[in-house]
Amino acid sequence: MRILDIDRLTQNATEQAASFAGAMPFAHIAIDDFLTVEACDALLDEFEKPSESGGWGHYVHYNERKLGATQLEKMGPRTQEIVAALSSQAFLDWLEKVTGIEALVPDPELDGGGLHKIERGGFLNVHVDFLAHTTHRNWSRQLNLLLYLNRDWDDAYGGALELWDANMEKNIRAVAPVFNRCVIFHTAPGSYHGHPTPLTCPPDRSRKSLALYYFRDEGTPQRLRPTHYRARPDDPFWKHGLVAADRLALRVYSFLKRHAGLSDSAVHRILKRF
């Protein structure tokens, strides 16, 4: 299966690099028709494969309501092939040209990444992602790659990726999660993003995506910096308080995950009861 036209991507790397560096509110780029049609169709066809083995984890707390599959071995064979291609040295070379970030490494554990599914009523509050890998202590997070898998997505469903300014004062850009659209952005302090308004898609639809994160080995342990959620400026004061409380709980969870070996699967088994 042909997955990427790496030659096409490389030919446009200079233009893409300028677009990435100059984007507001932080460095990012959105590329349509990212994979070959065959590859993106295969990814969508296998999207529900983790359901057969209980591979979906429940991310359910005040700041998000979604499902995620991070265990690569529970995904379909063509999905595994696509993840491998997006972790290959040829692809990393292209990423480095576009972003200007050198020595990128993929995450074989797909920590927090993998397949994401958000159903009707689901949401993801605005946040900056965790900036250091939970278990690879020397790794700093550098890039997010989000590939959307939603055919015939109606804007009325919601679910656009919102990119906010560093002061959380304004939503600068909204990117619709349409089929085979890829968004790549620099993960850094102030790279606030999310889709905080609950989805209104029909009950038989969901917002589907593949998320891959890229790191850099800094050679020394990095300070643990878990996902940092923020309320929107127009949210009521009580919501600001609840977002902050949930943020603290997440910090405790991340600490236990790094230092006490707490696994995502154990937490998901608890959360899926709610």
Domains, the chain, in order of start with CATH, read 6-271 (2.60.120.620)
CA distances (Å), origin 113, targets 144, 219, 237: 9, 23, 31
Quick one: pLDDT at residue 68?
96
* Stretch among 11-25, 98-112, 244-258 having the lowest mean pLDDT: 244-258
Nearest 5°: phi and psi at 255?
-65, -45
pLDDT 10s digits, 188-210: 999 999 999 999 999 999 999 99
Residue 106's H or E segment, with its range, is: strand 104-106
pLDDT of residue 116 exceeding 50, the answer is yes
Contact 234, 157 (CB under 8 A): no
Quick one: pLDDT at residue 177?
98
pLDDT 10s digits, 217-251: 999 999 877 788 999 999 998 998 898 888 777 66
Quick one: pLDDT at residue 176?
98
Quick one: pLDDT at residue 134?
84
Tokens of 235: 């949210």
pLDDT 10s digits, 147-199: 999 999 999 999 999 999 999 999 999 999 999 999 999 999 999 999 999 99
Residues shown for the chain = 274
Q: Within a 10 A sphere around the Cβ of 196, how many other Cβ atoms?
A: 22
The predicted model scores a pTM of: 0.91
Average pLDDT over residues 10-33: 96
